Amino acid sequence: MDNNLLKKYKTINLVALGLTIYFLMLPIISPIISKFFPTLWRCSYLYATGKRCPFCGITRDLDSAMHLNFSFINEISIFMFIFIIFELIFRIIIMNIKTNLKKIIVLDILIHIFVVIYLTIYVILFLNNGVG
C-alpha cells in the first residue's frame, strides 16, 4: 500500500481518536462551556423548532452511563455509549498496528457505514414519531 496513504490514514485515525476523547469528555466540558456561552451551547434544532431533536439528552445519558447508571437511558444513547467505547479501543489499537492496514481500513470504513445507516434510520423513525 502507498506509504503516503498510510500516513494520511494514521492522521485521520489520530483525529478520530481526538474526537472520541472529546465525546467522552463532553459531560465534563458541557457545563463549563454553557456557563460561559449559554446561547452557543444549546440544541439548534430545539431552538429553531421548539421540539427535541433525535439526539437530545445524549450528553446527560453519556454522563449517566459513565457512572454505570443505565436505568433511564434511551436506545440511541446506549448505542452511542457502546460505539464511543468501541471507537476509543479500536483507535488505540490501530495506532499500534504496523502491518496489514489495508484490511483494517476496509473494516473501519464498513463499521462507519453501518453506524451512518443506523443513525439515519433512527433519525427518520424519530422524525416520524416512531421512536424517542
- Report pLDDT digits (tens) over 55-91: 877 777 877 777 787 776 677 777 888 888 899 998 8
Residue 51 domain-assigned (yes or no): yes
The DSSP code for 69 is -
Residue 132 domain-assigned (yes or no): no
Number of domains in the chain: 1
Residue 24 domain-assigned (yes or no): yes
How crowded is residue 112: how many other Cβ atoms within 10 Å of its Cβ?
13
- Domain containing 104 equals 3-127
Residue 17 domain-assigned (yes or no): yes
Residue 120 domain-assigned (yes or no): yes
pLDDT value for 3: 75
Residues in contact with 40: Cβ distance below 8 Å, sequence separation at least 6, in sequence order: 33
Low-confidence ranges of the chain (pLDDT < 50): none
Residue 101 domain-assigned (yes or no): yes
How crowded is residue 62: how many other Cβ atoms within 10 Å of its Cβ?
21
Residue 63 domain-assigned (yes or no): yes
pLDDT value for 114: 93
pLDDT value for 27: 82
Task: Name the pTM for this structure.
Answer: 0.72
pLDDT value for 113: 94
Residue 29 domain-assigned (yes or no): yes
pLDDT value for 78: 79
